[in-house]
Structure 1
Amino acid sequence: MDVRRRRAYLRPIMLNAVRILALLLILALGGLWASAWFGRAPGEGVAESFARRFAGLTGGEMPAPSAGGVQLPQGMALGGPFRMTDHTGRAVTEADFAGRFLLVYFGFTFCPDVCPTELGTIAAALDTLGEAGGRVTPVLVTIDPERDTPEALADYVSRFHPRMVGLTGTPDQVSAIARAYRVFYARVQRPEMTQYVMDHSSFIYLVGPDARVRTLFRPETTPEQIAQAVRGQMRGG
């Protein structure tokens, strides 16, 4: 068999092999995603659950919890520049918060349980900080800009803390800030509900005066633990 005929003979075999491997990979990832969806811990987002399982398969480790929250891997940076609209309708960027610490949460006003709980935790942490809490701005970034207008956010954030800032924007702006913080979110329409909901990761981010995340807190972290971590960051500058 000459070279040309051999290549013609092998080409469909190789293409079929590649297709089979691609299909197996898709099925494996789909199975892992399904496992992440149904095996989530309370308050854990699908993305965190998926990453935890993937890390286990590859022999890696998720960031370990520390006294100040979740330790970020070396070289990993979260946060940074953004352009949004606050709950008063004013266009803002990270420069409007320069020099201040932030406690940031990504959620939405129609959230039935996790968001109110975590925003309440932020408010309680500020109370625990006492006078030092005045140096910290609590922020809710919506991942549902279609419904969370500045007016809706203004009403919502006022229920948790008088200084809480709500941020919304265009879908592209929300997507950009979510990528900067590596936030997972997705619109979900459940058969038993008339309104859609948003599935999303549920970390609280402590952002430093340089607009970069210093640490983050898993769901159900206590206000006292958050306040302790904030004090430690303030001492460090």
Structure 2
Amino acid sequence: MRWMIRLASWGVLVAAVLLLVTAYVHSRRAKIELVPTTSSLPLYGELPPFSLTAHTGEPIRLDDLRGMVWVANFFFTTCRSICPIMQENVATEVYAALKDNPQVRLVSFTVDPEHDTPQVLAEYARAKGAAPDRWTFVTGAKKDIYHLARKGFKLAAEDTPEYIQDTKHDFIHSEKLVLVDRQGRIRGYYSGLDLEQVRQVVRDVQQLLREEPDQ
């Protein structure tokens, strides 16, 4: 019996590693080009318009976020691999440091919108202690979210291949946190699993706030 438990544990570990490697490969395939800028932070291009649904049930669009510096990431509520670590880092490091600044927003997009309805995300937000006007959890049509992840943020987002679906890891998505400026332009990518990179997000947000004062 013990060897069966060990074998199952190793199976879950191997599957999680495969997911991380696959997400990394897909992220590397995405063509991310730097755009010239006078800022010390790089400029990776502009996000396309989008219209999705916040966990409050209200629509959320790119235009709603203009004028704010925001940090985006992709997750799903039933994830048991990278999401718990990433979201805990976001909560304890980024949200805790920036939650009192009305010019900053955190935006977490689910990659499992069929399960993660506004009601499910609202409960998740309550569990995280997230104020709705500071940390928004977003759902919507799956094709729209995946298109935004791939073409807008240049990140991996897709269903898990069939050969590892029996591990309960049903989606592949990037662990990256993405920094977006007041004009809806991508200014940085950071690993949500690396605590020092997560802390760098806070420093770079503060730098953007200094460089781009609210008009």
TM-score between the two structures when normalised by the length of structure 1 = 0.65
Percent of aligned pairs sharing the same letter = 24
Structure with more contact order per residue of length (Cα contacts < 8 Å, sep ≥ 6): 2
Cα distance per residue 1:203-228 (max 9 Å; x no partner)? 00111111121111123143432211
Which of 123, 135, 141 is matched with 2:103 structurally?
A: 135
CA RMSD after TM alignment: 3.1
Rg larger for: 1
Which of 208, 219, 224 is matched with 2:199 structurally?
A: 224
Query: Match of 2:65?
Result: 97
Alpha-carbon distance in structure 1 between the residues aligned to 2:81 and 2:169: 15
Query: Match of 2:24?
Result: 48
Q: Letter of the aligned partner of 2:146 in structure 1?
A: S
Which of 165, 169, 177 is matched with 1:204 structurally?
A: 177
**Structure 1 gaps, min length 5:** 1-37, 56-61, 64-70
Query: Match of 2:208?
Result: 233
> For residues 157-196 of structure 1, what are the structure 2 equivalents within 5 Å?
157-163=125-131, 164-178=135-149, 179-188=151-160, 189=162, 190=164, 192-193=166-167, 195=168
Q: Letter of the aligned partner of 1:165 in structure 2?
A: T
Question: Judging changes above 3 Å, is the alpha-carbon distance between structure 1 residues 48 and 191 closer, same or farther for their aligned structure 2 residues?
Answer: closer
SS in 2 for 1:49: helix
**Structure 2 gaps, min length 5:** 1-13, 35-40
2:48 matches 1:80: yes
TM-score between the two structures when normalised by the length of structure 2 = 0.71
Which of 125, 129, 152 is matched with 2:94 structurally?
A: 125
Query: Match of 1:215?
Result: 188
Offset at 1:95?
Answer: 1.3
Q: How many residues align?
A: 182
SS in 1 for 2:127: coil
SS in 2 for 1:167: strand
